[in-house]
Amino acid sequence: MCEIMKEIEKLRRRIDEIDDQLLELINQRLMVARNIGDIKSRFGAAVVDARRENQIYQRLSSLNGGPLKEAALHRIFQALIAAGRGIQSPLKKGSLVPLYVVIGNPVGHSLSPVMHNSALAHEGLGGCYLACQVKDIAAAVAGIRGLGIRGASITIPHKVSVMEYLDEVDPMATDIGAVNTIVNQDGILYGYNSDCAGGVQAISDKTVIKDKDVAIIGAGGGARALGFGLKREGGVVTIINRTPSRGEKLAGDLGCRFRPLAEVNELPYHIVVNATPAGMTPDVDGIPLSSSLLEPETVVMDMVYNPLQTRFLKEAQSRGCVTVDGVAMFVHQGAVQFELWTSLAAPVDIMRQVVLEELESR
Ligand SMILES: NC(=O)c1ccc[n+]([C@@H]2O[C@H](COP(=O)([O-])OP(=O)(O)OC[C@H]3O[C@@H](n4cnc5c(N)ncnc54)[C@H](OP(=O)(O)O)[C@@H]3O)[C@@H](O)[C@H]2O)c1
């Protein structure tokens, strides 16, 4: 036993030595990154260079012959590069760091912090995005005003109740009846619904929406936001829902057709969207309706993103359908938020990559 402890102690000392060297090297690397940032700033060049960062990842993964997994290598260097951007930040010493939050209850599982913090770091913006578990939405909105928080994501259960505390609500969010994004512009709070535009963008990446027949399965918040977005894009929407009264209500608000889920025995649509939690972890064998009803070449979207490849999407793919995963919608709604808050184009590829890595590591 004593010999084993001695051996462990020896190995731990070796780890400490390696950590010392790593720390020294990381600081050296940061100093070089800062020098590059200073030179670029002097010549007015953009400090962040996504192409160069890609080259770094590619070079290192081609060199990696050890037990370090590709995803872990990526995460480690992503953190190093983000730390480099932090000290290259255009924010001067003493200037205020812009704060962003996600407000919900529960909120610990939210992927938004990792997504938005990576986007902020990638753009060299030096802001910080935090998760806040909130019971009292009125107090939280007062906090946004009082603390000068630049932007907030609003999630379950506050998307509807938050609306009465805002100064202005975007007409589309008013129609949907839910706000998931707040922009604080010089103390005036504006509300938006980015689920709507995010879902539309995720589908538009795969197909034209105008004049297409679209079936949305579900009649909750997700279906409502996407339904309004697809209608605005010229899609011909049908709501399919398990509980007829709820489906009829949404169809009435949208001015579109309704079909009870139990009576569906064919799906003659160009686009079919699962906006129910069927198939979401831990119910991974769940499916909103039989995939045998799907016609080949239909564009099938699943709003569920955990797992990324739901049973519905896997079966749709094997039937020859084009698929859109829930992360696409999630990332695009986040990109809309980022653009509203910063007026910069969101680094969508980076956002998707970190969200996928985060999901994989959970
Ligand atoms: N990817 C994204 O960015 C994104 C955005 C929003 C939502 N989502 C996901 O989309 C899903 C729905 O979210 P939501 O907020 O709209 O939920 P919600 O408001 O609770 O609505 C759920 C809807 O699904 C139906 N439903 C529930 N379980 C079902 C089942 N086993 N079979 C058939 N229908 C079922 C319900 O029908 P009844 O009316 O009969 O109860 C209801 O219409 C969730 O998994 C959520 O995580 C993803």
d(CA 182, CA 133): 16
206 Cα: distance to centroid of ligand 1 (angstroms): 22
> Which of 85-94, 313-322, 340-349 bottoms out in mean pLDDT, i.e. has the lowest?
85-94
Q: What share of the chain is helix, strand, coil (3-state, %, to 5)?
A: 50, 15, 35
Among 109, 242, 280, name the best residue to mutate to test ligand 1's pocket (greatest count of ligand atoms within 8 A of Cβ).
Answer: 242
Higher pLDDT, 257 or 54: 257
Encode 35-54 in three state secondary structure.
Answer: HHHHHHHHCCCCCCCHHHHH
328 lines ligand 1 (CB under 6 A): no
| Concatenated DSSP letters of 209-262 | -TT-EEEEE--SHHHHHHHHHHHHTT-EEEEEESSHHHHHHHHHHHT-EEEEGG
223 Cα: distance to centroid of ligand 1 (angstroms): 7
In the three-class reduction of DSSP (H, G, I as helix; E, B as strand; rest coil), residue 113 is classed as helix
pLDDT, mean over the chain:
93
Give the CATH fold of the 197-324 domain.
Answer: Rossmann fold (3.40.50)
Range 99-192+330-361: architecture per CATH: 3-Layer(aba) Sandwich (3.40)
Give the CATH fold of the 2-88 domain.
Answer: Chorismate Mutase Domain, subunit A (1.20.59)
| Two tokens, residue 330 | 């999630």
d(CA 20, CA 354): 28
pLDDT in tens, 264-273: 999 999 999 9
pLDDT band at 85 (very low <50, low <70, confident <90, very high): confident
DSSP 293: G
Q: Is the pLDDT of residue 90 over 80?
A: no
What is the domain partition of the chain in residue ranges?
2-88, 99-192+330-361, 197-324
pLDDT score recorded for residue 124: 79
Is it true that 99-192+330-361 and 197-324 share their CATH fold? yes
CA-based nearest residue to 111, from 347, 341, 326: 326
